[in-house]
Amino acid sequence: MKTALKSDLYRLLPSVDDLLRQPEIVILTESEGQPAVVEAIRTVLAQLREQITAGHLANDAAVQLAIAGLPDGISRQLHTAMELSLKPVINATGVVLHTNLGRAPLPESALRRITEVAGRYSNLEFDIAAGERGKRDVHVERLFSQLLNQDGITGIRTVVVNNCAAAVMLALNSLAEGGEVVVSRGELVEIGGSFRVPDVMSKSGAVLREVGTTNRTRIADYEQAINDKTRLLLRVHRSNFAIIGFTEQPSLEALTELGHKHSIPVMEDLGGGALVPLRSMGINESGVADSLRAGVDLVTYSGDKMLGGPQAGVLSGRAEIIQRVRSNPLFRALRVDKLTYAALEATLMEYVRQNHEAIPVVRMMRLSAEDIQRRAQAMCAALTASTKLKIDVIAGESLIGGGSAPTSTLPTFLLALTAGGLSADELAARLRTNTPSIVARVEEGRVLLDLRTVFPHEEADVLKALREIL
């Protein structure tokens, strides 16, 4: 009897064709296209059938009421299905290069260049003056050379691939396939996503030759490992951790001197790739120029970390080495597209102009704690007057993030929020599900907002979200 009753209720549900003829659905079809609307209809009807099966819709009246709400339900389902997944968020964590949040936000000039290039044809691989095929490298290599020349470094060439891991693999495959690469045990790092340097080396076709110990590696360890199979001496940035205490590591100058003595190239996987002096900002990290000045033959680094540009892997080094890299068939498989070149060229041009304030990550790293404190106090006053939040402005630390500068923090001031009736985790969750999403830190039972990584024009969205939540 129950099965028959449910069968009768199922028959009350309209067909897809019936719903497509309803005026509200016709309007949706005109704006979003019939395939998407049909999929939304099928999803909503399937949900009603599940409710009938579960007994939540147990009689004719309940089913008819649900049918009356079908146009609204289909519209909501369509909106959910058609919503873009990748969306902007407000980074209130104080982590400047937050990998999960897309690392470096691009300069405004880079956004304009992407727009200009994306919707039209371009001279990506066309030499306009000669009227023949060109090379896509030229759009940024000249700027890298110009920037390094400003630091007194000449004879360096640069190529770009899709990320730093690709740059490392390409370099190892080009310079050391079938041979040995000597690297300290203390530098065999694993970064986010279980990505390990030994695994990259294995895939490149090079043979790992570990020397030294986790905490102490001497220049003699490298020299004793050199044999007729040695193709490369490798220095790897330790990325997201530091070894302190009873430690030893040879200087880059000593490593390059050893390499040159044995006619073996020295490569450094720098990772961050800063083009500005970081120590002047209180960050204990070297930059690209420092490595090349020390005599390193090839440096690999990221475009979307300290450099502040788009995701890319950059290889800068001696001309003959870069030529070997560029001649590798893998180079074509790992190359970047016109949008990356457009964004990277615009970012580098800001460096050439020494307009560092136009590069968001550089600007954020340079922000003083006093400037952040003033902004935090202004927001605190605005929120205290309009919400029931308990708010304090407290001293804290910002992080560089992105596997960069693990031993360095930046002094900052934090908005520490406590909401009556909501736990810190609940308040943080509501901020995340706000539009736009606001990502904060939770520590010691409070939600912490660090305005170092919040753009000034985003402050109004943060205030609005907190007022609405409370």
pLDDT at 388 over 90: no
pTM: 0.89
Closest CA to 469 of 415, 428, 416: 428
| pLDDT score of 199 | 83
E strand or H helix that includes residue 366: helix 360-366
- Rounded mean pLDDT of 357-372? 96
Q: Quick: pLDDT tens for 153-203.
A: 999 999 999 999 899 999 999 999 999 999 998 888 776 555 677 888 888
SS3 state at 287 = coil
What confidence tier does 281 reach under pLDDT thresholds 50, 70, 90?
Answer: confident
Bridge-based pairing state of the strands 446-450 and 404-419:
antiparallel
E strand or H helix that includes residue 172: helix 164-176
Burial of 218 by CB count in 10 Å (0-12 exposed, 13-18 middle, 19+ buried)? middle
Closest CA to 171 of 340, 301, 258, 292: 301
| Greatest CA separation for the chain | 92
| pLDDT score of 309 | 97
Q: Where are the beta strands (DSSP E) in 255-351?
A: 266-271, 298-302, 313-318
Residue pair 325/177 in contact by the 8 Å Cβ criterion? no
Query: Residue 3 CB: number of other CB atoms within 10 A?
Result: 7
Closest CA to 392 of 429, 426, 418: 418
Instruction: Give the whole-angstrom CA distance, residue 312 versus residue 426.
Output: 37
- Rounded mean pLDDT of 228-238? 92
Lowest mean pLDDT segment, chosen from 104-118, 183-197, 311-325, 348-362: 183-197
| pLDDT score of 245 | 64
Q: Quick: pLDDT tens for 409-457.
A: 899 999 999 988 899 999 999 999 999 999 999 999 999 999 999 999 9
pLDDT at 8 over 90: no
Instruction: Give the whole-angstrom CA distance, residue 191 versus residue 217.
Output: 21
pLDDT at 384 over 90: no
All domains of the chain, ordered by start, with CATH?
A: 2-82 (no CATH), 89-97+363-469 (3.90.1150.110), 108-356 (3.40.640.10)
